Every structure is written in C-alpha cells, then in structure tokens.
Structure 1
C-alpha cells in the first residue's frame, strides 16, 4: 500500500459514522467499508466483504478483481478463511500462503494469483446473515499485530454501520408497507361506501360484494375497489 493511499484510522471511523442512511443503500455502505479498509489498514492490497445467508455466500463489495477471485474460489470449494470467519464470527489469519495447511489448495491458487497473506474478520450482520471483512496482502506477513488489531477495530465499526443500514432499511420498508396498506384500506372503504349508497346494504354486505367481485374477476380487492371508485367519480383507475 502506498503512502498516498494511507488514511488516518480516526478519519476512516468518522466517515463510517457519518454515513447518512437516508441517502445510501446497503451496496453503497459495503463499497465504502471496503474502500476505507484498503486505505486504512497497513499491508492491505485488496479488500472484499463477504455476506453469507444459509448456504449462499457472495462477495457484496470488493476493491479489485484479485479480492473477488480469491473469495469466489472459496465459495466454489465451500471452505476457506472468509467462509470460516463468517461462520464462527472470528478472526482468521493466513500469514504466509506458502505455509498454509488449513486450506492448502486455495492458498496455492491464491499465491499463484499474487496474494501472499490474508486476514478475514467475521461480521455479525443480522439474523440469519453473517459476513466477513477480507483483507489481502501481496507480501508474506503483511499484517503485523498492530494491523490485526486495527482491522478488528475497523470490522467492529463496519458491523455497526451494516446493522444500522439494515435496521433503517427494515424500518423504511415497514413504513412503505404501512402507507400502502393505509392507501388500500382507504380506497376499499370508499368503494364500500358507494355500494352501501347504491344497494342500501350494511358495511359487511358491501365488503362481501367487493370480495365476490374480486374472486369472480380474478383481480385484487384493491384493484376492484379502485376501479369502482374511479367509475363513480368519472376518472380513470390508476
């Protein structure tokens, strides 16, 4: 890593903490995490973020093709430091690919591609989803104890950022669903009112009429209600 890439860790942590969740999505947060980790952690040549849900693992962000390839070779085999770190939510270090005995086939392939060492730090993202921050070095023993501690601290900040964006996304989705449900309810109530006025029936009877029409025409209840309201008002249904 060159000096021009180096970034003060405090500035990196401040950037992670200042992410405006309303302006970004999960992909943007993951890309920012990978970029800042590469610029911050001494010895880092390429960085990626793995996300795992059940048996499905994929690289959600990466700073270069080398990191992506190193991850995908692990997914193909079903094992490797990023997968094991994700599963155990722990830190796994490969100081020297040429001496690696836990994942020898992967290490040999990684060494041939230009990687000589790696760090993978498990990330608890959310229920049923785990992940790992993967840091690859082109030199053996690229990550000393200080770099490992910094990487673990960085991963902690990254996990908080990921948890926050997931929580925000969940709440925003819930809010959208609630708004849609309220809009659906409003148009159904309008349609019931029209039917009650025309047929001099009760609210329950009006709803039963709407439900039967929905079933007979194989259309959603909201669409049937919207069409009825539009017809009554002389406008086109949305």
Structure 2
C-alpha cells in the first residue's frame, strides 16, 4: 500500500473541498483517491456510506462495483459497513468465504469476487453516521499496519465530512449519470493528488495534467489513471487470491 505520509491530511482535504465544484464531485474524487492510495499494487474498491433519518446511502464510490457492494447490504439492512457506522467500530473480514456472520451477504456478492472487507466508522454529527468501506479481491488484504492507516485516514475524513454535511446535502444522482460521473471522478482525483503533491491550486494542477497529455499525445483520462496508479505504488491488475 502507499506510505502513510502519502495520505492527505485533514487540512489538505478541506482545501480540496473548497476547490471542488460540488459536494458530490468532491466525494467521488475522494473515494477514488482513497482506493488508489490505500490499495497500492492491489486493486481496492472504496465507498462512503452515510446513514441519516431517511436510511443509509452510498454518497460516493470509487467504482460502480463498490456502490453495488454497499447497496446489497442495505437490502438486508445488515452488513459490515452498516455495523461499522451503527456501532462506531472497525469491522474486518479477513476472508468473506469463511465468515459465518454475513454468509447471506457473501453468497449474494460472490460474482464480484470480493474476499476481504474492511469497514471503518467516520465520525459525524447532526444525527448522521458514516463509514469508509474498503473491498479487496485478495484474502487477508488488510494487515494491522494497513488497518491502522485506514483508521487514521477515516479520522482525517471525519473533519471534512462533518463540514461538508453541514453545508450540503449529499446529491443523489440518477443511474444514467453514474458512469459519466465515475469517469470524471478519476480526473478529479488525479487533479487533487497533483494539488497535494505540488502544493498548488486546482487551476495549476489541471494545467500540469493538460501539459502531460499534450506532450505524450495521450488522453487526459489516461494521464489521470497513470497518476493514480503511481500514487498507489504500482500497476493495479485484476488478479487476486481466490
């Protein structure tokens, strides 16, 4: 996984929120950054669940698959992420195939190939509860150091999410816009990483990515994907220990 100091601080996250064009766009980029930095050379899916009076919802996810994995838990009104946010404790499932507690959930999501789940509560206020949900196709993907790093990341997320939820309501987006927003989130996440790494504003970061695209004669989206892979510590493939 990425070095601990590669994760954005609470202050950097707040700066990213202020620079973002909208709350939903910010959260989408945030989950994409989290998946890239926390996963390293192993693919990881990340999502943020917020539960308010109307019930739980995935306010952002690094991929559509991560959203589906969350929403299957909502159908049961039970699962690792709901337990983490409702009981405000970290939930780690080292191997979903041998877990008895959520065997019903494991059967439903078996086609997704997920083997390990880590759900970490994110502190909130105003009657809402939240969790950062991490999914991996590898068994035992989260060693103690990784769990500790993700818990610290959730603490940093807490301050920004509290601020954001006070100012904005999570914007639901229709199914036909999910793909477009997910694609844009990759570019937004890359811009945010360049801002953090170079201590620059959004406009400067975007110019740097445009220059890289022009000089290499490659699409901006491809450049953004490379930035996220490099930040995560290596090339992400689709393999895993099944």
In 1: Cα distance, 2:78 partner to 2:159 partner: 26
Which residues of 2 match residues 2-41 of structure 1 at below 5 A?
7-14=2-9, 15-21=12-18, 23-41=20-38
Residue matched to 2:68? 69
In 2: Cα distance, 1:87 partner to 1:22 partner: 31
Secondary structure in 2 matching 1:119: strand
In 1: Cα distance, 2:81 partner to 2:74 partner: 9
Residue matched to 2:126? 127
Q: How many correspondences in the alignment?
A: 165
Residue matched to 1:164? 163
- CA offsets 1:44-67 (integer angstroms, 9 cap, x no match): 521111110135111111111221
Q: CA deviation at 1:72?
A: 0.9
Q: Is the 8 A contact 1:45 1:136 kept in 2?
A: yes
Q: CA deviation at 1:168?
A: 4.5
In 2: Cα distance, 1:94 partner to 1:140 partner: 9
Query: Kindly tell me: are residues 114 and 20 of structure 1, through their superposed partners in 2, closer, same or farther at Cα, counting changes over 3 Å?
Result: closer
Q: Is the 8 A contact 1:85 1:122 kept in 2?
A: yes
In 1: Cα distance, 2:65 partner to 2:152 partner: 24
User: With CA pairs under 8 Å and 6+ residues apart, which has the higher RCO, 1 or 2?
Assistant: 2
Which residues of 2 match residues 83-98 of structure 1 at below 5 A?
83-98=82-97
RMSD value, Cα: 2.1
Secondary structure in 1 matching 2:91: strand
In 2: Cα distance, 1:55 partner to 1:38 partner: 27
Q: Which runs of 5+ in 2 are unaligned?
A: 170-242
Residue matched to 1:235? none
Q: Which runs of 5+ in 1 are unaligned?
A: 1-5, 171-238
Could you state the TM-score of these two structures normalised by the residue count of structure 2? Answer: 0.62
Q: CA deviation at 1:111?
A: 3.1
Q: CA deviation at 1:125?
A: 2.2
Which residues of 2 match residues 1-238 of structure 1 at below 5 A?
7-14=2-9, 15-21=12-18, 23-42=20-39, 43=42, 45-54=44-53, 56-169=55-168
Secondary structure in 2 matching 1:18: helix
Q: CA deviation at 1:24?
A: 4.0
In 1: Cα distance, 2:35 partner to 2:75 partner: 25
Higher Rg of the two aligned structures: 1
Q: Is the 8 A contact 1:21 1:168 kept in 2?
A: no
Q: CA deviation at 1:166?
A: 3.0
Q: CA deviation at 1:77?
A: 0.8
In 2: Cα distance, 1:94 partner to 1:123 partner: 18
Q: CA deviation at 1:37?
A: 1.2
Could you state the TM-score of these two structures normalised by the residue count of structure 1? Answer: 0.63
